[in-house]
Amino acid sequence: MGNIKNNYIEIDIRNIAPGERRSKIFERFLALGQGQELHVIADHDPVHLLGSMKSHKLPVDVAAYRTLTDKDGTFTGIFKKLEHENVNENFLATDIDQERNYLPDRFNPVTVYTGENYRVIITYIKAGQFIPVHSPSTDLIFSVFKGNGSMVAGDREINIHPGSIVIVHAGEKRGVFANTDMEAFHVVSPVPDEKDHLEVKEKLESKKYI
C-alpha cells in the first residue's frame, strides 16, 4: 500500500476502500521517524485528515501541511511528523502573499489550518475560474481580499468585491465566479468530508459552474 522512499512514505489511497483509508494512513504515519513526511495521493485535497490526526493525538505538524496538485487533478497531501513530539503548537501565522498559488485550470483552495471543528482556507481564483455551486453540510464565512466577481448564496446571486463578507449556512447553495483574479479568506465548519467535495469535483470535471 505504501512505498518507503528517502525521507518520506508515499501511499496512494485512490484504490483503497473508503472505510479502510484512515486506518491505513494512520498506520503509515505512525511508522514515520520524527521529522519525516507521509505523502497521501488522492483525487481531492486530503487536508481533512489533519483534524482526525489531531483528535487521535497523532504528532502531526499542522503548520507544515501542504498540498501539491497535478494538471490531471491528482492531489498529494504532505503530512509531516513533528520533529519533537512534545512540541505545543499555540499559534500559526501566515499571510496571503506567502500562500499565493494560482492554478492554470481551476481555483486553488490553500488550507491554512484545520482544527477539530473548522478549516481555514485562502482561495486563489484566476479570472474566469470558479468554485462550482454546491450545497455541502458546512457553514461558510467568505471574505474577499482582492478581485471582483459574483457569488451564489442560497437562492440569491450577489456581486462581491474587496471587503465583501458573506455567510452561508450548512446545506445552502454557495459558489463563486471570478471576473478578475480573486483572493479570498474563508472558514468552513465543521470540517468537510469526501461527500462534501464530490459535487465540486464532478462539476469541475464537466466544467460546470451551476
Each residue of 112-171: pLDDT tens digit?
887 778 989 999 999 999 999 999 999 999 999 999 999 999 999 999 999 999 999 999
In a domain, 90, yes or no: no
Runs of H (alpha helix) within 84-193: 96-99
In a domain, 210, yes or no: no
Q: Which of 46, 80, 114 is the last residue of a domain?
A: 80
Residues in the chain where the model's pLDDT stays below 50: 1-4, 87
Q: Which of 55, 80, 105 is the last residue of a domain?
A: 80
Identify the bridge partners of residue 39 per DSSP, sorted by sequence position. 10, 78
- Tell whether 65 and 129 lie within a shared domain: no
In a domain, 38, yes or no: yes
- Tell whether 100 and 201 lie within a shared domain: yes
- Tell whether 24 and 57 lie within a shared domain: yes
Total number of domains constituting the chain:
2
Identify the bridge partners of residue 77 per DSSP, sorted by sequence position. 40, 67
pTM score: 0.66
- Tell whether 168 and 103 lie within a shared domain: yes
- Tell whether 71 and 120 lie within a shared domain: no
For residue 22 the three cell numbers come to 484512515
Supply the pLDDT for residue 195. 84
In which domain, by residue range, is 61 found?
2-80
For residue 99 the three cell numbers come to 500562500
130 contact partners, CB below 8 Å, separation of at least 6: 107, 175, 176, 177, 178, 209
48 contact partners, CB below 8 Å, separation of at least 6: 114, 119, 191, 192, 193, 194
